[in-house]
Amino acid sequence: MVTRGQRFMLGGQQWKVVYVGVGRAHCVSTSTRLVTVKDKHGNQRTFTATSKNYIDISPDSPLELLKETL
């Protein structure tokens, strides 16, 4: 059974269970990446960005069977 606050790896991304309902468990990605952008003057700015991905999985998903578990 999936529980709120549980963290796991899936598809190379880190996920956190935000809430668990009767029909689904809502998970958000906690993965980050380094992003570099240039402005119109050629100046570079680098920052860390958090992914905005989410998934809904079955609340009965056996996350303990994933070999990538944190």
Q: Cα-flanking dihedrals φ and ψ of residue 34, to 5°?
A: -90, 130
Length of the chain: 70
Domain that holds residue 29: 7-58
Q: Is residue 1 part of a domain?
A: no
Mean confidence (pLDDT) of the chain:
89
For residue 21, how many C-alpha atoms fall within 13 Å in the half-sphere facing its CB?
Answer: 6
Residue 68 lies in a domain: no
Does residue 2 form part of some domain? no
- Tell whether 65 is covered by a domain: no
The total number of structural domains that make up the chain: 1
For residues 10 and 53, give the distance between their C-alpha atoms in angstroms, rounded to a whole number: 12
Q: Is residue 11 part of a domain?
A: yes
In this prediction, residue 58 carries a pLDDT of 92
Nearest to 57 by CA among 47, 49, 66, 67: 66
Tell me the per-residue pLDDT of 8-50, one tens digit each, with 9 for 90 and over.
988 888 899 999 999 999 999 999 999 999 999 999 999 999 8
- The answer as to whether 40 is a domain residue is yes
Instruction: Answer whether residue 52 is part of any domain.
Output: yes
Q: Is residue 21 assigned to a domain?
A: yes
What pTM does this model have? 0.73
